[in-house]
Structure 1
Amino acid sequence: MADEQRSYLMAYDINDDVRRSHVAKILQSHGERLQYSVFLLRIRPSKLLKIKASVEDEIDSDTDSILICDLGINDHAERSMLFLGKRSYRDTMIPTII
C-alpha cells in the first residue's frame, strides 16, 4: 500500500512568464487545473518525486514559491474537498495577432 495513489494539491507563485508556463505544463500533464495556479494531482508518491524534481529544475528558488499539500488517499481527499462555484478552470485560447 505504500505506493497507493494519493491526492496532492499543488499551487505556485512564479514571477517569470516563461518559468510559470513551464511549471504549468508540467502540472497540467499530471493533474487537473482547479484554478489558475492550483492543480489537483492523483498520483503515486514515487511520481510526485519526479514531478517535484522537474518543477525544481524550472523555478528560481529565490523568487518563486511552490506549495504541495498531501491530501491523503484519493477516496479521503475527494470527501474532504469543498468547492463553491465551478469546480475546474479552463484556459481560454486567446489568438495572437502578429
Structure 2
Amino acid sequence: MAGNERLYIVTYDIGDQKRWRRVFKVMEAYGRWLQFSVFQCRLTPRRRAALGARLDGIIKPSEDHVLIIDIGPADAVDPRVESLGRPFESIKREAVVV
C-alpha cells in the first residue's frame, strides 16, 4: 500500500465560512495542516479519489476554488521547500489507529 502513495498539496479558497469549515474538517481527515487553507497529504489512488469526491460535494463551483497538486511518489520525492518562520516537514509514513 505504501508504494502507491503520492504526495499532494491541497489549497483552497472558499467563498462561504460554513463551507470553509466543512472543507477544513474533511482535509483534517486526509492530511497535515500547513497553513490557513493549505494541507499536505499522502494518499493512495483510492483515498485521492475519495478526497476529490468529498470536496466536490461541499464546494460551490461558482464561488470556490480547490487546487490538488500532485508532487509525486510519496517515498521517492523530496520536496524542495523554502520555509520562512516555522520549519516545513514532509509527511512521513506512519501507522494510523482508527
Partner of 1:93: none
TM-score (norm. length: structure 1): 0.79
**Residue identity (%):** 32
Which runs of 5 or more structure 2 residues have no equivalent in the other structure?
89-98
CA distance in 2, matches of 1:51, 1:35: 19
Which runs of 5 or more structure 1 residues have no equivalent in the other structure?
89-98
String of CA shifts for 1:59-83, please: whole Å, max 9, x gaps.
0001100011000011344343332
Greater shift in the superposed pair: 73-82 or 22-31: 73-82
Partner of 2:6: 6
CA distance in 1, matches of 2:44, 2:82: 23
| Cα RMSD (Å) | 1.8
CA distance in 2, matches of 1:57, 1:74: 26
* Equivalent runs, 1:18-97 vs 2, <5 Å: 18-87=18-87
Task: Check 1:74–1:82 CA distance in 2 against 1; reply closer, same or farther (3 A cut).
Answer: farther
TM-score (norm. length: structure 2): 0.79
CA distance in 2, matches of 1:53, 1:70: 16
